Structure 1
Amino acid sequence: MASHEQEIATFGQNDDFWLFGYGSLIWKPPPHFDQRVPGYIEGYVRRFWQDHRGTPEAPGRVATLIDKAHWETLNDHHGSTERVWGAAYHIPTSRVREVREYLDIREINGYSIQFTPFHPAPFTTSISSPPASPTAFPETLFNHRPSLSIKATTTVFAHPEMIPTGSVRCLVYIGLPENPQFLGPQDPDELARHILKSHGPSGDNKEYLYLLEKSLLELSRDSGDKHVTDLVRRCREFEALENGVIGEEADIEATEHVGVPLHKTGSTEEQEEVER
């Protein structure tokens, strides 16, 4: 059996390079993908326990994955879900080297390469061909306000014969517990307050959180994440208190922040942003 290092070096040589995104890669895709498929992985828990974003004086928080067996040994304030939802991207063999170099820069701050089975969403029925430019992702897919009723049909940009019919092995960047930026369990209120105050070259830390929740809810009717949604709720409440807005007014104000279009990523110009 090939070693982990050998698998990293050879992964994608047989037109089998799939990348799983569970953070900003959901709405800020890698360059040169020719398929984007919503779905999930199992055996992990998503948490805002990775130290990054912001400035050295006030680093922000971004998502990472924790092996569920390890997570169960921790004293966490939030429960777990059976699945971690996100999006998988297929990269053609001719572009693998270029995309790998891009990802290694984007994911360099404490994240390491792991591999895991990815399961395409079972209810994916609406299929269309990919755009002429693989990175020209239609903004309209993400440029609307979330609704209480999420459709069970998700558009996949791929040719019908290319859609995976079973699980596929995906490369995923994970901030393992032994990396210096891994923080472990945190008080949810303190975490929310820290996210609200953090700002850096990539923007407001809270926008990363809000866009993640929004993007997850748009993947399917089952793709929400209780940890992410709870942090969003706490941040909105703290913002409302700070602004003197309460009750229904706070709910209305919260909706004004959604509708940010998908950000097209075509270069390494945003290498300071280390997000999945």
Structure 2
Amino acid sequence: MDEFWVFGYGSLMWNPGFEFLERSQALVYGYRRSLCVHSWVHRGTQQNPGLVLGLDRGGSCRGIAFRVALERRDEVMDYLRARELVTNVYLERHVPLSLPGRRNIKAIAYIVDRDHAQYAGALDASVAARTVHEAKGRSGSNDAYVFNTLSHLKEMGIRDHWLERVAGEVERLRAV
């Protein structure tokens, strides 16, 4: 392998936590960004789970690809595994990405494991909003995670209409 790339579709996009040589918008086909993972650690607990993003089957997803120096590969992989595989709800996979200028690469990405107990599946926006509104974990409140995600997606010119509906429902719940 002559290049090492990492694909971010959630908080990795704006908070990768590792050094990189290059950053580029990227598109993956066959997967979509989805608020489909019950968070038992960072944004909720096992008793009161929150929801965080996963890369789930179907559709496509715009995100960010990071090219990492080959000599840092092991260090970055150790970091990513500690960050993303806390409860093993994600599967580590190489996925094909399209970069601007018709450049195609393969990158490490973390795909949700649909057979894992934390997989929430497709949720109605109002059900997701109630979960998000009530949850808090080690890294803070779940609603802060959703609003922060949307803010960063907007800065990058990426729309997520369903996540926007969830945030709208959370705002409605806050006003009650």
Q: TM-score if structure 1 supplies the norm length? A: 0.59
User: Residue deviations 1:91-150, cap 9 Å, x none?
Assistant: 10111100100111111121111122222246xxxxxxxxxxxxxxxxxxxxxxxxxxxx
**Hey, what's the Cα distance between the residues in 2 that align with 1:103 and 1:32?**
12
Please tell me whether residue 107 in structure 1 is matched to residue 84 in structure 2: yes
Question: In structure 2, what residue type is equivalent to 1:46?
Answer: R
8 Å CA contact 2:125, 2:162 repeated in 1: no
| 1:41 matched residue in structure 2 | 28
**Hey, what's the Cα distance between the residues in 2 that align with 1:22 and 1:66?**
11
Partner SS state of residue 61, structure 1: strand
Structure having the higher helix fraction is 2
Partner SS state of residue 54, structure 1: coil
8 Å CA contact 2:96, 2:107 repeated in 1: yes
8 Å CA contact 1:85, 1:216 repeated in 2: no
**Hey, what's the Cα distance between the residues in 2 that align with 1:27 and 1:239?**
26
Does the C-alpha gap of structure 1 residues 121 and 83 become closer, same or farther in structure 2, counting only changes over 3 Å?
Answer: farther
**Hey, what's the Cα distance between the residues in 1 that align with 2:174 and 2:133?**
8
**Hey, what's the Cα distance between the residues in 2 that align with 1:18 and 1:30?**
14
CA positional deviation for 1:65 = 1.8
CA positional deviation for 1:83 = 3.1
Question: In structure 1, what residue type is equivalent to 2:50?
Answer: G
**Hey, what's the Cα distance between the residues in 1 that align with 2:60 and 2:91?**
21
Question: In structure 1, what residue type is equivalent to 2:160?
Answer: D
| 1:215 matched residue in structure 2 | 152
2:174 equivalent among 232, 239, 246 = 239
Gap runs ≥5 in structure 1:
1-12, 69-81, 123-164, 243-276
Please tell me whether residue 94 in structure 1 is matched to residue 71 in structure 2: yes
8 Å CA contact 2:22, 2:67 repeated in 1: yes
Greater C-alpha radius of gyration: 1
1:170 equivalent among 107, 119, 127 = 107
Question: In structure 1, what residue type is equivalent to 2:26?
Answer: G
Please tell me whether residue 50 in structure 1 is matched to residue 40 in structure 2: no
Question: In structure 2, what residue type is equivalent to 1:203?
Answer: G
1:201 equivalent among 133, 138, 141 = 138
| 2:160 matched residue in structure 1 | 225
User: Residue deviations 1:61-102, cap 9 Å, x none?
Assistant: 11112211xxxxxxxxxxxxx531111111101111001001
Count residues in correspondence: 171
User: Over the residues paired in the alignment, what is the CA RMSD in angstroms?
Assistant: 1.6
| 2:96 matched residue in structure 1 | 117
**Hey, what's the Cα distance between the residues in 2 that align with 1:40 and 1:22?**
10
By relative contact order (CA 8 Å, sep 6+), the higher-ranking structure is: 1
CA positional deviation for 1:167 = 1.6
2:11 equivalent among 2, 24, 36 = 24
Q: Which runs of 4+ in 1 moved over 4 A?
A: none
**Hey, what's the Cα distance between the residues in 1 that align with 2:27 and 2:149?**
15
CA positional deviation for 1:30 = 3.0
| 1:60 matched residue in structure 2 | 50
**Hey, what's the Cα distance between the residues in 2 that align with 1:22 and 1:33?**
16
Structure having the higher strand fraction is 2
